[in-house]
Structure 1
């Protein structure tokens, strides 16, 4: 089987690394061919802190995915998150030299390039510029300005910023594991692809992905990404609290959280206990489920309060920006009992649990239903989009130096200009992950 027929999503998380191999069936749904899973040993709060251990975990997950799918994995689409990711809103404009000529993609590209010149903090780099709404002269709230006439072109942008060092570490781990990184995708955006509907994005919705080391947030309104952020706390810190509060080992703390954990202490009876086996002949320990819920609830409340702060920063409580579709909770942390009710109470928005199997056609045993696979499936969907886009534009992919059909120039200088315009058009059509990969590849070429 050729790898070109299939796509692979690789989720490098804090607690686990998941590789999913899949393809699109005739009905447009995703057919999962194989899944590989390995414990993540070299990642802390979404950031690689041990290269060799991360490489070993990636190899283990990919090997299992290859065995279960029967496909040789060469290219992967990888997610990026971590506490170093932040976003900001920025408005900018350009004055067009020829207002009589209609606005084209080159004008939008020029505006984006101007935004990329913003001065960031040391070590930071702009990795994504997302236009939201445009304004041409005095006319605002324009979503597609191409073809319009005007002198001043202005836009509001959602700018995503991250540490290039963290991006290069992920790229190195993937490369050392014998894989080619097809694209990098922001994990909250990948999760949103897997669990959100178009109607929710139109009405206004916040996806809250509670992972092992971080909680990723992405807010959509009018089908436009409005806000993204990463909170450096997740399910792992809840496990640590249980370990310290109950004086037990981490393995038992994780089992307690998964099997008996609850976000609402008032819903648990004080007289109900669970017994933890003692270590090396020591007596067993009894822990009240009410006490366990109090420990979990305190930390979950703190995380949800941070989510609330981000919602307020966006303006979700204003009438114009109100999130009609509320909140969608996903990620492994959303499996906690009574989490949805607590989220409703703290944020004031209706919430639901986002399951990742809505777009999967062959998940008969519900293996991928768990919200912990939302990011992995979202990355697979992003990889399939990239492959479909390449398949749909053969002329631009096959040959960069073919002049555009509408260009009728024979002279050498004009031909060069046409070639440059075609190359720029191809670059414009790259996804965020592909454009970011160009930077990463250029970095490695310079190092070598």
Structure 2
């Protein structure tokens, strides 16, 4: 099978690493060719803390995916999360020299570049600038300024910031595992691709991805990303609490959480017990399911209160910013029994579980339905988007353009027809419009070239 026929998403999580291989069929759905999973041994709360172990886990997952799919994996689209990711809101503007000319993508890029000059904390770097709404002179709430006239171009931006060292560590692990990184994508954005509908993004929705080490949040309103953040707690800390509270080993604590854990103690009976085998001839231990639920509930409520804090920080309880579609819970942690009911009560928003196989055509045995696959499927979808934008005759650096490429190219053609003396060619302009992953990759590649 030729390399261009398939794409690969690689989710480097805290508890597991997933490699998923797929291609788009004639109906626009995704045919999954193979899946590989491996225990993640070198990642803590979304951040690589052991290079060699992470490389081994990546190799194991990729090898399994290659065996099940029958294809050789060379390029992967990788997710990035971790507690080092943060976001902020910023407004900025530029004064255009000639207001009689159309506003072009060059003007928007100039405005973005100005935002990227913001001074960050030591070691931090702006990894993406997402325009939200524009204002031209005195006219506000403009979503597409290209082709319009004006002197002052202003915009509100959602700025995503992260530690460049963490990005380089991920890039090194992928490279030394014998793979080429096609792009980097923020994990909550990847998960949203897999489980959210366009209607939900327009109405207003928060995706809460509860992973093993972190809980990732992304808020959408009017089809625009409004807020992102990473809470440094996930399902792993619930397991840790069960281990300490019930005085059992971690493996038994994880099994208890998965099979019998509940987020609402009131729905469990006092008379129901589960038996845990004793260690090395010691007597078995009986644990009440109600007691187990009380331990789980305490930590889950804490995580949901942090989610509530982020919703308030965005303004989700204001009428204008209200999340009509509520909350979508996904990630492995959302498998916890009665979590949806507790989320409804804690946040006041209606919630649902986001299943990850809506866009999968051949998942007849429902093996990919679990919300724990949301990020990896979202990364696969992101990789397929990049491949879809790659005509065979176009050089690679010109292929990978942003989702707005078609509209932007049309605007450039309009501008070029009005100004025949334009200095930059359309090819040069397309070269500038890289996705977030490609911009990060350019920086990472430059770093490794300097090191070598």
Tell me whether the two structures share a fold, i.e. TM-score over 0.5: yes
Matched-pair contact (CA < 8 Å) for 2:137–2:151 = yes
**Equivalent in the alignment of 1:447:** 451
State the secondary structure of the residue aligned to 1:102: coil
Question: CA–CA distance in 2 between the matches of 1:65 and 1:374?
Answer: 17
Q: Distance in 1 between matches of 2:276 and 2:390?
A: 55
TM-score by length of 2: 0.94
Q: Distance in 2 between matches of 1:398 and 1:423?
A: 8
Query: Which residue of 432, 436, 444 maps to 2:436?
Result: 432
Q: Are the counterparts in 2 of residues 427 and 435 from structure 1 also a CA contact under 8 Å?
A: no
1:171-210 → structure 2 map (5 Å cutoff): 171-210=171-210
Contact 1:203–1:325 at 8 Å: present in 2 too? yes
Partner of 1:411: none
Query: Could you tell me how far 1:2 is from its partner in structure 2?
Result: 1.5
Cα distance in 2, alignment partners of residues 130 and 393 from structure 1: 30
Quote the residue 2:403 is aligned against: none
Contact 2:134 2:140 in 1 (8 A): yes
User: What does residue range 17-416 of structure 1 map to in structure 2 within 5 Å?
Assistant: 17-391=17-391, 394=394
Give the aligned partner of residue 418 of structure 1. 424
| Shift in Å, 1:4 | 1.5
8 Å CA contact 2:7–2:23 kept in 1: the answer is: yes
Structure 1 residues 393 and 241: CA distance shift in structure 2, 3 A: farther
Structure 1 distance, partners of 2:138, 2:126, is: 29
- Following TM superposition, by how much is the alpha carbon of 1:186 offset from its aligned partner in structure 2, in angstroms? 0.2
Once the two structures are TM-superposed, the CA of residue 312 in structure 1 deviates from its matched residue by 0.1
Deviation, 1:393, is 8.2
**How far apart, in 1, do the equivalents of 2:85 and 2:175 lie?**
22
Task: Give the 3 Å change call, closer, same or farther, for CA 196–407 of structure 1 in structure 2.
Answer: closer
Q: Does the aligned pair in 1 maintain the 2:23–2:384 contact within 8 Å?
A: yes
Compute the displacement of 1:394 (Å). 3.0
Alignment correspondent of 2:404: none
CA distance in 2, matches of 1:38, 1:397: 32
CA offsets per residue over residues 44-96 of structure 1, 9 Å max, x none?
00000000000000000000000000010000000000000000000000000
**In structure 2, do the counterparts of structure 1 residues 20 and 351 end up closer, same or farther at CA, with 3 Å as the change threshold?**
same
Distance in 2 (CA, whole Å) between partners of 1:443 and 1:114 is 23
| Corresponding residue number in structure 1 for 2:408 | none
Structure 1 residues 100-144: Cα deviation after superposition (integer angstroms, max 9, x where no partner): 111011000000000000000000000000000000000000000
* Unmatched segments (≥5 aa) in structure 1: 409-413
Large movers: runs of 4+ above 6 Å = 404-408
CA separation of 1:394 and 1:82: change in aligned 2, threshold 3 A: same
Q: CA deviation at 1:392?
A: 8.4
Contact kept in structure 2, 1:87 and 1:227, CA below 8 Å = yes
- The 2-side partners of 1:99 and 1:398 are apart by 30
Question: 2: distance between equivalents of 1:399 and 1:266?
Answer: 55
Unaligned 5+ segments in structure 2 are 401-411
